[in-house]
Structure 1
Amino acid sequence: MTTFDPKDPAFIADPYPVFAQMRAEGEVHQHADFGLPVTLSHAASAAVLRHRGLGRVWSDVKPVDAFAAFNLLHRNSLLENEPPTHTRLRRLVAGAFGRGHVERLRPWVGELATRLVDDVAAGIDAEGHADLLELVAAPLPVEVIAELLGVPAADRGLLQPWSNTIVKMYEFGLPDEQRAQAEKAAGEFVAYLRELIALRRKNPGSDLVSDLVAETDADGAKLTEDELVATAVLLLMAGHEATVNVIGNGVLALMRHRDQWQRLVDDPGLLPTAVEELIRFDSPLQLFERTATTDVEIAGVTLRPGDKIAALLGAAAHDPLVFAQPEVLDIGRSPNPHLGFGAGIHYCVGAPLARIEVSATLDALTRRLPKLQLAAEPVRRAEFVIRGLSSLRLTA
């Protein structure tokens, strides 16, 4: 059967034709490199994400003593726990989010996106180029999450390097040197957040960390300090990486589909559906893993307790049984049941904020730089699981 090499540059450049061929051969394939089955269809992928017999069961990275900080972040994470722990964590985090943080930030995000896009025009170099990743896509979500958490302006430059280094651990076959760097970054991030939490306990503000510290549910439960730290790190890593890559992958897609770019320039009312389509068209997260906690059957494949399976989200997003002409970029596509924010109890708690960030960026770009176009071939990152660009040079 057809398979893929997750380190093959040609596959990483465009995995979707390979996914289509694999899907035609079967909804689920055993992947030798990953050592687990992977789902290719939308139905099978959605079943993996929603089935209550499949969960996020965290196993500490070994050796445990060498990855104390990285393991701490995941043992206490909303994403890596199942009920009843997940239920308690999500109730508390959602309660803190529900204090109006997303709406509080909406106008601020719009102003930030406009300011950063104006930097693109001002930052065009002697060759007439500016890098959208460097000037907009990378700094915007960091600033937004930092504002959400109440990180002082002087410290915000620390966040992106920590996030970029830690998320490398989610790739397969990472060299030992990079694993050590990820643990070092995790340790520094944990130490920083403990200090920030201590400060907010003494001097609460209008930020999310202050609300997470104060949040108590109907049963009197509160987040532990380790859970507070893990929640803040999850919001940064998930919010930063996903938003950077939706913006980068999405603007590249629009540059290569000029009719859709012009359509958005002409009709800003398409922004909500455009955001969803860009998430679908070139998924920022390609693979999401689950572990069976009981006997489970997915598309004819039986899993026993402890068996792992992964949903290939990019493949699911191009399933022709769900998306008409999936290889066509259509910014007006509706309905658009992509799985880019997950599904089931682990659906992304930060999805509303991510949508605001991407929409604000597209709005600023189409208003300020309607003649935007590619100035050079983009540089794609070598990783498969977290799909994105390292450079996207444009000219106005």
Structure 2
Amino acid sequence: MALLCGGMSATSDFAPWSPSFVADPYPAYAALREQGRAHWFAPTGQWLIPRYQDVQALLRDRRLGRTYLHRFTHEEFGRTPPPPAHEPFHTLNGHGLLDLEDPAHGRVRRLVSKAFTPRTVSGLAPSVARLASDLVASFVADGGGDLLPAVAEPLPVAVIADMLGIPESDRPLLRPWSADICGMFELDPSEESARRAVRASLEFSAYLRELIAARRAAPGTDLVSALIAAHDEGDRLSEQEMVSTCVLLLNAGHEATVNTTGNGWLALLRHPEQLAALRGDPALVPGAVEEALRYDTPLQMFERWVLDDIEVGGTRIPRGSEVALLFGSAHHDPARFDSPSRFDITRTDNAHLAFGAGIHYCLGAPLARLELHAVFGELARRAPGLRLASEPRWKPGYVIRGLEELLVEL
């Protein structure tokens, strides 16, 4: 393992439970990149991978997987099975595209893609634009406030709820369920976090099973009806696969869009020359969204299991290990990005990894971009005097990194 001068470990500044680290992890990332390509991090028992080229390659390397259960038992892999009380969460998570591996992954993705098509996403554009316009108009009329609950959070939840055909009266349930389930993706979640995730998994799954039953009896034009109808050579999605797909769409779409909006607008407000350029030229909106996804990415770390021995920079990482791919570090790697610490909405060579790579590339990326383009464009156009009202606070989570609040005024 590489050491810093004076014998200090390269991971000494990597402190994912520290509020100061979460607020600005980028200096620690620079130290990791400078000192090597793979670093053992004892507190979590993971290998940290900080450089872009390695992160990108390992995302595509089939010797790694989001799960190992398609090849090994827990015992064969040298891992302790999760507590039986956590089973509802793992059943829900384990049947979603994010955690499946081939051949199950390819089968489910092919079937889901028949329902969640590019045409489905493009057809949402008018309603997404209308929702973004209404939310920003209300926010401006109120004179500002916390951008997150007023604009960033309602948009993706409303879009997913519309897609799934969830009645408006039930939509307040969705955000708390999403937040509680996503708490399990943090490093070493507490037993209390697990308890909340299990409860949310049970409640959300039960809700969706009722919704699926209703759509079987009376199909509509929503995504749930399309998932029920999707078939391929006689094969169909199981009910659990449909439930897990719907939950993943909400969780991934909600967390990515909300945190990219918050983190991205904080970056714009801290770089007034970039914000002025955006306000002056609506054609810069797509570039601003891509730069927000790179510069302060909402998903800082993506974990993979090592299914067969690999080597990274001369370091052998054996089967049974876990690697932590540091997206936030990769996005600031000067070997890949010119002046990576510069926030530049006109950046053209911007091959960020915010939506992943390989077979697990985010199926919802086009929808996330549609939502982000709409909300960034509306805020730039309709809130020309937008400015920070106070220094924002960061949520304690590191893996899914976002702001607690973003107070702004007009």
Q: TM-score higher than 0.5 here?
A: yes
Q: What whole-Å deviation, never above 9, does each CA across 1:28-77 have from its counterpart, x for those lacking one?
A: 21112221101110001111211011111166995543123201112211
Q: Which structure 1 residue ranges, 5 or more long, are not aligned?
A: none
Which residue of 373, 386, 395 corresponds with 2:400? 386
Give the match for residue 233 of structure 1: 247
Which shifted more, 182-191 or 169-178? 169-178
- Whether the aligned pair in 2 keeps the contact of 1:78 and 1:90 (CA below 8 Å) is yes
Q: Say if 1:394 and 1:180 are closer, same or farther in 2 by CA, change over 3 A.
A: same
Give the match for residue 195 of structure 1: 210
- Whether the aligned pair in 1 keeps the contact of 2:147 and 2:407 (CA below 8 Å) is yes
Q: What whole-Å deviation, never above 9, does each CA across 1:276-302 have from its counterpart, x for those lacking one?
A: 110000010011011122222233232
Give the match for residue 29 of structure 2: 19
Whole-angstrom CA distance in 1 between matches of 2:68 and 2:95: 10
Give the match for residue 51 of structure 2: 41
Deviation at 1:189, TM superposition (A): 0.3
- 1:369 equivalent in alignment to 2:383: yes
- 1:53 equivalent in alignment to 2:63: yes
Deviation at 1:382, TM superposition (A): 0.8
Whole-angstrom CA distance in 2 between matches of 1:389 and 1:278: 14
Give the match for residue 299 of structure 1: 313
RMSD of aligned Cα (Å): 1.4
- 1:159 equivalent in alignment to 2:167: no
Give the match for residue 311 of structure 1: 325
- Whether the aligned pair in 1 keeps the contact of 2:268 and 2:274 (CA below 8 Å) is yes
- Whether the aligned pair in 1 keeps the contact of 2:68 and 2:305 (CA below 8 Å) is no
Give the match for residue 374 of structure 2: 360
Which residue of 274, 279, 286 corresponds with 2:300? 286
Which secondary structure does the structure 1 equivalent of 2:324 belong to? strand
Give the match for residue 160 of structure 2: 145
Which secondary structure does the structure 2 equivalent of 1:310 belong to? strand
What amino acid is the match of 1:8?
S
Whole-angstrom CA distance in 2 between matches of 1:18 and 1:53: 28
Whole-angstrom CA distance in 1 between matches of 2:190 and 2:332: 32
Q: Say if 1:246 and 1:271 are closer, same or farther in 2 by CA, change over 3 A.
A: same
Give the match for residue 171 of structure 1: 186
Which secondary structure does the structure 1 equivalent of 2:325 belong to? strand
Give the match for residue 146 of structure 2: 131
Deviation at 1:216, TM superposition (A): 0.3
- Whether the aligned pair in 1 keeps the contact of 2:157 and 2:174 (CA below 8 Å) is yes
Which residue of 214, 217, 226 corresponds with 1:211? 226
What amino acid is the match of 2:10?
T
**TM-score normalised according to structure 2 size:** 0.93
Could you tell me the percent identity over the aligned residues? 49
Q: What whole-Å deviation, never above 9, does each CA across 1:238-288 have from its counterpart, x for those lacking one?
A: 110111000000000000000111110001101111111100000100110
Which secondary structure does the structure 1 equivalent of 2:219 belong to? coil
Which residue of 25, 28, 42 corresponds with 1:32? 42
- Whether the aligned pair in 1 keeps the contact of 2:148 and 2:405 (CA below 8 Å) is yes
Q: Say if 1:99 and 1:252 are closer, same or farther in 2 by CA, change over 3 A.
A: closer
Q: Say if 1:228 and 1:64 are closer, same or farther in 2 by CA, change over 3 A.
A: farther
Whole-angstrom CA distance in 2 between matches of 1:5 and 1:32: 12
Whole-angstrom CA distance in 1 between matches of 2:310 and 2:108: 26
Q: Say if 1:62 and 1:390 are closer, same or farther in 2 by CA, change over 3 A.
A: farther
- Whether the aligned pair in 1 keeps the contact of 2:301 and 2:327 (CA below 8 Å) is yes
Which secondary structure does the structure 1 equivalent of 2:138 belong to? helix
Aligned residues: 391
Structure-to-structure mapping, 1:68-79, within 5 angstroms? 68-79=87-98
Whole-angstrom CA distance in 2 between matches of 1:352 and 1:53: 28
Give the match for residue 129 of structure 2: 110
What amino acid is the match of 2:188?
G
**TM-score normalised according to structure 1 size:** 0.96
Q: Which structure 2 residue ranges, 5 or more long, are not aligned?
A: 1-8, 75-79
- 1:249 equivalent in alignment to 2:259: no
Whole-angstrom CA distance in 2 between matches of 1:18 and 1:32: 16
Whole-angstrom CA distance in 1 between matches of 2:320 and 2:306: 5
Which secondary structure does the structure 2 equivalent of 1:311 belong to? strand
- 1:260 equivalent in alignment to 2:282: no
